[in-house]
Structure formats: C-alpha cells, structure tokens
C-alpha cells in the first residue's frame, strides 16, 4: 500500500509522510520543535510531510535536514542533526512515533535495526542539508541594512569598575543564578576545543575609531561592526566601526541611533558582522553577561542569513593599569556552545585569531565620527579629564595619543589631522 504496510519497513523507511497517511500525526503550524543548547526552533508540519521553519519560511524535506541546519547555526562543527531524536511533535520525540507505527503495523519487525539506520539517515540528510546551505550561501546577496542586534537594550550599565580577578572557564560548571553576571572569564584557545571555523581581517581605521570612542568616557560604551562575509574563502572582513552615541539602556534614544546606523550600513553596501564594547578600567575579557550576549548575537546574525555567518565580538580595555604601556588591550572573541551533554553550562569564550590590515589613510568618515563623538561627550559628567594624569609621567591626552598611534594609517599626515581632534578634548 502507499503507506508501506505491504512490505516490511525498517525505521529508516518510515517518513513523516507515512506517519501522516496513517494518522499518527497531523499537519499543523508550530507543532514541531527543536531545543538545542538552550536555543529553541519552531516548525510547521506540512500536508506533504515537509517541514517549514517558522523563522525564515525555509522548507526542509525531513526532520534530519531541519535539525542539521538548526544545530549548525548554533554549532558550526555539528555534522548531523539526529533529527528523529531531536525534533518533537507536540512535545514528544518523533522517534517515539516511529516505534508506535512499527508496533501497530509491523509487530514482527526487528527493533534492533533501528539505531543504526536512524544514524545512517541522519548522516545522509546532514550532507544534503549542508550542500543546500552552501548553495544558498553562494547565491545569496550580501546582508544589507540588516536588523541590528539591539545592543543598547540588551547591554546594561556595568557597576563601577573594581579589581576583578578573572576565573578559568573550567571552574564555572553548570549555570548558577546566584553567580555575579559581571564575573570575568579567561579566554580559551580555539585549538584546545576545535578549529577556528572562519578567518578575520580587521581594518586599522576600525581599531582607531573604536579605541578613540572607548577612551572618551569612564562609562562603558558599545558600537557595531560593519563589513563583508565571503562564504567561499570563509573570510570575515571588518571594514567600519559604528559607535553608538547614546547611553546604555536609554530606550528612548536607542531606536533612533540604531536606525541611523542601519541606514549607514545600507548606504555603504556593508553587512552587520559584529559588535564592540569597552571595559574602561578593567581587563578586556568577557563577563558571563558578555558571553550570553555574544551567544545570542551569533544565533541572531546566523539565523537571519539562513546559514553560518560569524558574529565577531571585540572588547576594548583603555584604562586598565594591567595593560602593557599606553596601548589599549583589544580582545576579539567568539563563543563556542557548551558540550551537548552539558547544555546548561555557559558558552565557552575563545580568542579569535585576527589579521590586522593597515589602511592607506584616515578617511573623512572616520574623522567625522570622531568629531561627533567629541560633541556628544563634551558636556557629559563621565567625560575623561584629559589634562589629568593616567600615571605619574603620562597625561590622559598622552595616553590616548599613544594608543591611537598603534592603529596609524600608512599616510603619516594623519597625525596632523588628529591634532585638530585632540585640541577639542581640552578640559
């Protein structure tokens, strides 16, 4: 018969279409779910046995294809989805519906065949899903004018800096609601966990503008990173920083600021590729709050592109006295999902290897942004007093000049241009 009852079916031959025909499941919106490493995905079961992912409307031919795609968004090293064990229909694993079908229609079937064949199916479906992802990525235009990550409403002002001793990731264990979210965590190396699944190149003008922004105030600041993602070379190029000229958690100003940045990304033909923030007087290491924010941003940015796209996080520590010399510590980082067998652990913060590219000259865009930042913070109570001393023989103005010189363009005329900016900092 069309349902396959006429001949002996192994579990690998039982599909959603078979379950639909025999009335074990019914089509419906939002009836399928995946919960993976703290992230939830919802799908519609269609009348032909296919799955429509609610977030994007993308159609998948099987549970394994959908599970593989979703899991790779969270963990790009994932090769297969274990779909029938991962996807739930109205809260119950689909694998249970296979077992029910076999008991009902083929009670003599050899149940010992099951696990091997499900794994084989997942392996094949995983390959199919990855091939489809590659095709999508190769044909899809750049992500222009993307929805931003809502940094200003997610990030909350940090407490006044105090000496905080970073902890090792291995000492954290399972999530603990009583643990201080501002606890700093040492970075792991990608090589200790896996391989770095992408390459990164960052423009020196990005570093210069970001470092300048972080030096202006004793409060924490945030900004966005614009650039391009090349799926063929797996290279993320960060070409522009977009400082947020507003206070953290200022919901009244947040939407206008982020809309302006979104328009700037669109006009320059750039995609949203990450974010940065400062730890003004502390180590440039992620806190537990930063780790959770980065995980959320990674998933949001990847989900909007129907495939893997990295989201780079950068932390800048301008005034930490543990830095070497006057240069700020700048830390690019990423977060690897916790092990599947420990889904309630924190994500693992890892140091990202980056190639820094020296720009030929300081662009007018960057110079204009610097002047607008000066105007924004000029009357702020937390503006740094640049005439004061950072250490016995170095003023705050000397400190910022020395740090920014580390990101100098090839054209040395930049130093005369910046003197005009520095003259506006006199206070």
Q: What is the pLDDT of residues 4-63, one digit of tens each?
A: 454 445 555 789 999 999 999 999 999 999 988 767 889 999 999 999 998 878 899 999
Instruction: Assess whether 302 and 204 both reside in one domain.
Output: yes
The total of structural domains in the chain comes to 2
Report which DSSP code applies to 48: T
The residue range of the domain holding 28 is 16-105
For residue 361, pLDDT over 90 is answered with: yes
61-78 mean pLDDT: 83
Boundary-marking domain end, from 79, 105, 131: 105
pLDDT at site 37:
73
Contact 228, 240 (CB under 8 A): no
Residue 41: strand pairing partners: 34
**Quick check: is 180 in a domain?**
yes
Check residues 254 and 48 and name the one with the higher pLDDT: 48
Instruction: Assess whether 261 and 404 both reside in one domain.
Output: yes
For residue 1, pLDDT over 50 is answered with: no
**Quick check: is 297 in a domain?**
yes
Boundary-marking domain end, from 105, 130, 160: 105
Instruction: Assess whether 181 and 51 both reside in one domain.
Output: no
Residue 357: strand pairing partners: 203
pLDDT at site 190:
87
Instruction: Assess whether 91 and 205 both reside in one domain.
Output: no
Instruction: Assess whether 175 and 66 both reside in one domain.
Output: no
**Quick check: is 413 in a domain?**
yes
357-368 mean pLDDT: 94
Only one residue has tokens 């099951």, namely: 114
pLDDT at site 203:
97
pLDDT tens-digit series, residues 2-14: 444 544 455 557 8
Instruction: Assess whether 87 and 189 both reside in one domain.
Output: no
Boundary-marking domain end, from 49, 70, 105: 105
**Quick check: is 145 in a domain?**
no
Instruction: Assess whether 421 and 297 both reside in one domain.
Output: yes
Report which DSSP code applies to 345: B
pLDDT tens-digit series, residues 227-251: 999 988 989 999 999 999 988 767 7
For residue 201, pLDDT over 90 is answered with: yes
**Quick check: is 126 in a domain?**
no
pLDDT at site 308:
76
Only one residue has tokens 């990101």, namely: 407
**Quick check: is 120 in a domain?**
no
Instruction: Assess whether 248 and 365 both reside in one domain.
Output: yes
pLDDT at site 76:
73
In the predicted model, what is the mean pLDDT of the chain? 83
Of 95, 7, 9, 20, the C-alpha closest to 51 is: 20
pLDDT at site 303:
55
pLDDT at site 144:
39
Q: What is the C-alpha R_g of the chain?
A: 25
Q: Are strands 355-357 and 199-203 parallel, antiparallel or unpaired?
A: parallel
The enclosing domain of 379 has a CATH number of 3.40.140.10
Instruction: Assess whether 84 and 201 both reside in one domain.
Output: no
Of 3-7, 210-214, 243-247, 289-293, the range with the lowest mean pLDDT is 3-7
For residue 333, pLDDT over 90 is answered with: yes
Check residues 148 and 334 and name the one with the higher pLDDT: 334
For residue 77, pLDDT over 80 is answered with: no
Q: d(Cα 244, Cα 275) in Å, to the nearest integer?
A: 10
Of 130-139, 306-315, 344-353, the range with the lowest mean pLDDT is 130-139
pLDDT at site 252:
78
**Quick check: is 161 in a domain?**
no
pLDDT at site 412:
83
The percent of residues in the chain predicted with pLDDT above 90, rounded, is 51
pLDDT tens-digit series, residues 114-157: 443 444 444 444 444 444 444 444 443 333 334 577 777 666 66
pLDDT at site 81:
65
What would the two tokens of residue 293 be?
A: 């924010």
pLDDT tens-digit series, residues 85-126: 889 999 899 988 988 888 888 776 554 444 434 444 444 444
289-313 mean pLDDT: 82
pLDDT at site 14:
84
Model pTM score:
0.72
Q: d(Cα 45, Cα 24) in Å, to the nearest integer?
A: 13
291-300 mean pLDDT: 90
**Quick check: is 111 in a domain?**
no
Instruction: Assess whether 100 and 241 both reside in one domain.
Output: no
Contact 286, 333 (CB under 8 A): yes
């Amino acid at each position: 018969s069309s349902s396959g009852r006429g001949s002996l079916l192994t579990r690998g031959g039982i599909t959603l279409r078979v379950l639909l025909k025999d009335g074990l499941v019914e089509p419906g919106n939002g009836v399928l779910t995946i919960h993976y490493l703290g992230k939830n995905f919802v799908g519609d079961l269609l009348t032909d046995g296919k799955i429509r992912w609610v977030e994007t409307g993308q159609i998948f031919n099987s549970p394994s294809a959908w599970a593989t795609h979703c899991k790779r968004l969270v963990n790009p090293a994932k090769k297969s989805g274990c779909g029938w064990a991962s996807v739930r229909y109205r809260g119950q694993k689909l694998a249970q519906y296979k077992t029910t079908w076999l008991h009902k229609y083929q009670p003599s079937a050899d149940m010992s065949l099951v696990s091997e064949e499900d794994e084989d199916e997942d392996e094949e479906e995983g390959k199919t899903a990855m091939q489809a992802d590659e095709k999508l990525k190769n044909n899809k235009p750049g992500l222009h004018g993307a929805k931003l990550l809502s940094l200003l409403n997610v990030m909350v002002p940090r407490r006044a800096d105090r000496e905080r001793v970073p902890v090792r990731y291995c000492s954290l264990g399972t999530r603990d609601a009583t643990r201080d979210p501002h606890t700093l965590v040492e970075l792991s190396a990608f090589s200790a966990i896996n391989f770095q699944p992408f390459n990164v190149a960052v423009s020196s003008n990005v570093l210069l503008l970001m470092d300048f922004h972080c030096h202006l105030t004793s409060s924490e600041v945030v900004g966005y990173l614009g650039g391009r993602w090349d799926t063929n070379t797996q290279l993320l190029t960060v070409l522009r920083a977009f400082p947020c000229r507003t206070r953290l958690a200022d919901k009244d100003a947040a939407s206008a600021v982020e809309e302006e940045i979104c328009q700037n990304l669109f006009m320059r033909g750039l995609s949203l590729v990450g974010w940065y923030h400062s730890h003004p007087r502390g180590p440039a290491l992620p806190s537990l709050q930063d780790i959770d924010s980065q995980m959320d941003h990674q998933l949001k940015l990847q989900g909007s592109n129907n495939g893997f796209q990295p989201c780079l996080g950068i932390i800048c520590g301008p005034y930490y006295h543990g830095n070497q010399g006057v240069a700020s510590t700048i830390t690019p980082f990423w977060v690897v999902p916790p092990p599947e067998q420990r889904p309630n652990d924190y994500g693992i913060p890892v140091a990202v290897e980056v190639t820094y590219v020296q720009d030929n000259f300081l662009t007018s865009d960057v110079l204009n942004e610097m002047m607008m930042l000066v105007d924004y913070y000029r009357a702020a109570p937390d503006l740094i007093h640049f005439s004061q001393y950072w250490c016995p023989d170095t003023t705050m103005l000397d400190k910022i000049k020395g740090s920014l010189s580390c990101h100098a363009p090839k054209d040395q005329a930049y130093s005369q241009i910046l003197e005009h900016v520095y003259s506006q900092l006199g206070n």
